[in-house]
Amino acid sequence: MADSILAQFAAAILGGTIKIIDLSQPLEAATPIIQLPPEFAPSWPFRLEEISHYDSRGPAWYWNNFACGEHTGTHFDAPVHWVTGKDYPNNTTDTIPVAKFIAPANVIDCSAEVAKDADFLLTPDHVVAWEKGHGRIAAGSWVLMRTDWSKRKGAEAFHNMREDGSHVPGPHPTLVPFLAKERDVIGWGSEGVGTDAGQAYRFDPPFPCHTGMHGSNKFGLASLINLDLLPPKGALLITPPLKIVSGSGSPCRVLALVG
Ligand code: 23J
Ligand code: MN
């Protein structure tokens, strides 16, 4: 009898035919977090506090307490995160059906455009042109915007803050309803600190990715890295957030399987 599909899968991982790529930033005090205008309440940065380190506080064990906002570092955005998604059933980190945490990815390379323009916004026209080369974006798949933004060194370059706010690429307001409604994607992922562009607070609607994706019961992934190591199509993402009861999101070890 032929090996089961799962046995073949396990052998492919063991043998290296399927590679596993880590799309997650290291989580530490220096991990960049979203900088909102001062009238809004801030999120806690990541904090680690040692409980014991094989010492008088615990002779044979090392462990830490940690604290952070739900939307810290590489993280998952649940639909309940935004007011537009608040009334969907099973819209929180503990209630989203777990099968949704494994889904294929489309990776759209915008790195050349972003190198010229930090405020580059991905449009439906650009995505339709991408589909001509790679096929139509399938329902239930992720769209990841590769910008190489995660290669920027230090919080200053990553936030790219000016007097008028942050300048970071993201989806054009018209792209979000296109992907959510006409393509029925599972969600949107980006390399920036959040899923929306840096200037998105002044778009119409404000924060269109949060507004439109969560308003369609879709998810978000933010602060992704290593998107340059993924093929345009064919990677499989594993994205389970922590099972925080009523959580709006959580730091996430996002893995991509590439074969
Ligand atoms: C709260 C308000 C605005 C934004 C965000 C959070 C995020 O980017 C996030 O991490 O969800 S833009
Ligand atoms: Mn978030």
Q: Please report which confidence band the pLDDT of residue 124 belongs to, taking 50, 70 and 90 as the band edges.
A: very high
Is the pLDDT at 75 greater than 80, yes or no?
yes
Residue 2: the pLDDT is 78
* Residue 126: active-site member: no
- CB of 149 closer than 6 angstroms to any ligand 1 atom: no
Residue 60: the pLDDT is 98
**Tens-digit pLDDT profile for residues 15-65:** 999 999 999 999 999 999 999 888 999 999 999 999 999 999 999 999 999
Is the pLDDT at 173 greater than 90, yes or no?
yes
**Tens-digit pLDDT profile for residues 216-254:** 999 999 999 999 999 999 999 999 999 999 999 999 999
- CB of 196 closer than 6 angstroms to any ligand 1 atom: yes
Ligand 1 atom index nearest CA of 248: 11
Report the residue among 46, 70, 71, 218 best suited for mutation to probe ligand 1: largest number of ligand atoms under 8 A from its CB. Answer: 71
Residue 18: the pLDDT is 98
**Going by CA atoms, what residue is nearest to atom 8 of ligand 1?**
194
Is the pLDDT at 1 greater than 80, yes or no?
no
Is the pLDDT at 211 greater than 70, yes or no?
yes
Per annotation, catalytic residue among 53, 71, 75, 81: 81
Q: How many angstroms is it from 50 CA to the middle of ligand 2?
A: 27
Separation of alpha carbons 102 and 91, rounded Å: 16
